[in-house]
Amino acid sequence: DIQMTQSPSSLSASAGDRVTITCRASQTISGYLNWYQQKPGKGPKLLIGAASSLQSGIPSRFSGSGSGTDYTLTISGLRPEDFATYYCQQSYNTPYTFGQGTKVE
Amino acid sequence: EVQLVQSGAEVKKPGESLQISCKGSGYSFDDYWVGWVRQMSGKGLELMGIIRPADSDTRYSPSFQGQVTISADKSISTVYLQWTSLRASDTAMYYCARGGQLIRSHFDPWGQGTLVTVAS
């Protein structure tokens, strides 16, 4: 299985901050990297697919980048509604695996 | 609107069987992979397996192989997750999510989740 390592596991930030979350795969995943947001009591929501493709309806302050084994989610100008847990997920090889999550608080 | 609607919360005893469901609407159900994801309380997301309703091609994650069965009834646009003998450790929230038409795709949208509680 491909292991996904997210860092940090949690971070403290304030509204307006620029936040960066990284995700490293145990082998190359050729851009098959997705980012999800989960708020308490809710199901995950897709933010970015294929490493950098912003999904419809997702604010442009969210962006993704990376290639090979290393990927990044950036939130430029954190808003109160962005305080949540973020997960990366590789869809290169089954079983698709998730990172352990990053809680933004 | 593409939507996945899951069956309601369940409370079961250890050793009992259970089947939960996930009904898709607003898209060509047969053509898209559907996944089941477990989330134990306060923990992260674990993909259990994925199924393509068109031909019931199913891929299980090794941790869940033999522990659950994923199936589909394309005539009613529904995917199922089944246990034959529940354990207390199966207590979790379970989500279904639509994948892509190709296997290498993200999951979007997600169902609302089904809480399964297993306790004596």
How far apart are the C-alpha atoms of B51 and A49, rounded to whole Å? 20
Average pLDDT value for chain B: 96
How far the first Cα of chain B sits from its last, in Å, is 40
Percent of chain B with pLDDT over 70: 100
How far apart are the C-alpha atoms of B117 and B120, rounded to whole Å? 10
**Searching chain B, which residue's CA lies closest to the CA of residue A53?**
B106
**Searching chain A, which residue's CA lies closest to the CA of residue B49?**
A95
β-pairing verdict for B18-25 and B34-39? unpaired
Closest by CA position to B56, among listed B39, B38, B75: B75
**Band of the pLDDT at B104, cuts 50, 70, 90?**
confident
**Are A104 and A18 in contact, with CB atoms under 8 Å apart?**
no
Flag whether residue B106 sits within 8 Å of chain A, measured between CB atoms. Answer: yes
Cα of B54 vs its chain's centroid, Å: 16
Query: Is the pLDDT score of B102 beyond 90?
Result: no
Supply the pLDDT for residue A10. 96
A8-54 residue pLDDT tens = 999 999 999 999 999 999 999 999 999 999 999 999 999 999 999 99
Flag whether residue B108 sits within 8 Å of chain A, measured between CB atoms. Answer: yes
Supply the pLDDT for residue A40. 92
How far apart are the C-alpha atoms of A39 and B13, rounded to whole Å? 29
Flag whether residue B32 sits within 8 Å of chain A, measured between CB atoms. Answer: no
**Band of the pLDDT at B103, cuts 50, 70, 90?**
confident
Flag whether residue B55 sits within 8 Å of chain A, measured between CB atoms. Answer: no
Of B60, B106, B111, the CB nearest to A49: B106
B29-46 residue pLDDT tens = 999 999 999 999 999 999
A101:B45 CB<8 A: yes
